Amino acid sequence: MAADPNAQYQSPLTSRYASAEMAANFSNNKRFGTWRQLWYSLALAERQLGLEGISEEALEEMKANLDNIDYKVAAEEERRRRHDVMAHVHAFGLVAPKAAAIIHLGATSCFVTDNADLIIFRDAMDLLIGKLAVVIDSLSRFAMEYKSLPTLGFTHFQPAQLTTVGKRATLWVQELLWDLRNMQRARDDLGFRGVKGTTGTQASFLALFNGDHDKVEELDALVTKLSGFKECYPVCGQTYSRKVDVDFLSPLASFGATAHRIATDIRLLANLKEIEEPFEKDQIGSSAMAYKRNPMRCERICSLSRHLMVLIGDVLQTASVQWLERTLDDSANRRISVPEACLTADIVLTTMQNVVEGLVVYPQVIARRIRGELPFMATENVIMAMVKKGADRQECHEQIRVLSHQAADVVKMQGGDNDLIQRIRDCDYFRPIWADLDALLDPATFIGRAPQQVDRFLEQHVGPALAPYAEAIAAKKPAELSV
């Protein structure tokens, strides 16, 4: 009888959040199916290089049973032998009896475990890279749409000079582009452990080929090619260097920081009621406060990104304590840390796509906030306009200073609106520029080159960076948000 899934712990990463594609990539079917593919590739390459005792019938049986895995048999054998690889060698041999004697010939366990990991990591990164390209493309479209919409800029989360909604989005896009570059580099840098033997010396294969070094090198290269890699690591111990895991996870941790920053910005803007993540028709923000629209998607991004960022510590420590040719204290940790990093990054990207493609902008709220702060920012423009009309700069500065402090008192002490402009209109001293005040306060004159910067950035940087991923972007699916 199958165990009740509700009676035991389930990882939220797979049971609640992760995409079907990424969950499948780290499934038992993928892992042990890849082991069998590696055993088949090894036997095929050994036969092609003239090794006797590997029949065509044996290869055909292996190929026909790559996915025919009897997990019950494997589990029973592992309980007996306390060795997962040998348990699966046994299970494979039962369904491919003509190959039973040559499965795993000359190999050590890490031939399948390490090489399979590298294949799985490569495929995981391909999924992540495609999703990241989709997020960048969607956010770039948002930046273009709002490139000219003025908004109050913030430094120290205090009102600063104006920017535009689209220009602010390019700050997010730029960091995501760096993440895309870093992930692609990590993916392209992945090599294959290859056919190296027990401690990396290839002694077992040298014995199989009667001391023929060239045949051993050909075997290594052929299995590497059959597994879809351009090259294998030239030297290794029993395992590939665990520093590879550091290089693989580093861009994911870095992406976690980017995602956390973007989601935090959106949460701050949601508090200001300027921009919000999508909120579904029947969504409930609070069980008690019916009016609430909590930014739960961005909060989820932040929450999971924190987990993603700290997982790099696991692989750093693992890499630092590998003794000589290897020690086994890496295994249990890597079974958790690396898959969880990929699953978490996948969930964050799916959620980000959902958020970015559903962002809601409230121009009137943004404009109201600008009106509350712009009069103070415009004082220098007012002074310069008065000077052009013949006023004394120092006297004008004193006039505007007094009115500014009066307006600030209304805002801070009385809770009223910023009435500085009305005070200027009511002050006879400023009569020469009354007719110019609307133009002096046009927010579009305070955003500098923000729209042009957006255009140039998208054209010269985003477009070329996304060109290699056009197929993934065209094939994108709506980001279905899990519960």
Domain count, the chain: 3
User: So what's the pLDDT on residue 483?
Assistant: 58
Say whether both 186 and 273 belong to one domain.
yes
CATH number of the domain that 100 lies in? 1.10.275.10
Say whether both 98 and 122 belong to one domain.
no
Cβ count near 198 (within 10 Å): 17
In whole angstroms, give the CA distance from residue 412 to residue 360. 30
Burial class (CB in 10 A: 0-12, 13-18, 19+), 433: buried
Q: Residues of the chain whose pLDDT is less than 50?
A: 282-284, 286-292
User: So what's the pLDDT on residue 441?
Assistant: 84
Say whether both 329 and 411 belong to one domain.
no
Query: Domain for residue 159, yes or no?
Result: no
Question: Does residue 112 contact residue 121 with C-beta atoms inside 8 Å?
Answer: no
Residue with structure tokens 């949601």? Answer: 270
Say whether both 127 and 269 belong to one domain.
yes
Kind of pairing between the strands at 158-164 and 150-155: antiparallel
Tokens of 210: 């009667």
Say whether both 82 and 184 belong to one domain.
no
Say whether both 86 and 122 belong to one domain.
no
CATH number of the domain that 295 lies in? 1.20.200.10
Say whether both 72 and 119 belong to one domain.
no
Catalytic (active-site) positions: 156, 286
List the one residue out of 140, 180, 141 whose CA is nearest residue 345: 180
Domain residue limits at 49: 26-109
User: So what's the pLDDT on residue 163?
Assistant: 96
453-474: string of b/e by CB count within 10 Å (b at 16+)?
Answer: bbeebbeeebeebbeebeebbe
Say whether both 240 and 329 belong to one domain.
yes
| pTM of this structure | 0.89
Counting every residue written for the chain, the total comes to 483
Q: Which helix (H) or strand (E) holds 249?
A: helix 243-271
Say whether both 186 and 289 belong to one domain.
yes
In whole angstroms, give the CA distance from residue 34 to residue 17. 25
Say whether both 59 and 105 belong to one domain.
yes
CATH number of the domain that 407 lies in? 1.10.40
Q: What is the pLDDT of residues 206-260, one digit of tens each?
A: 999 999 999 999 999 999 999 999 999 999 999 999 999 999 999 999 999 999 9
Say whether both 281 and 345 belong to one domain.
yes
Say whether both 132 and 177 belong to one domain.
yes
Query: Domain for residue 340, yes or no?
Result: yes
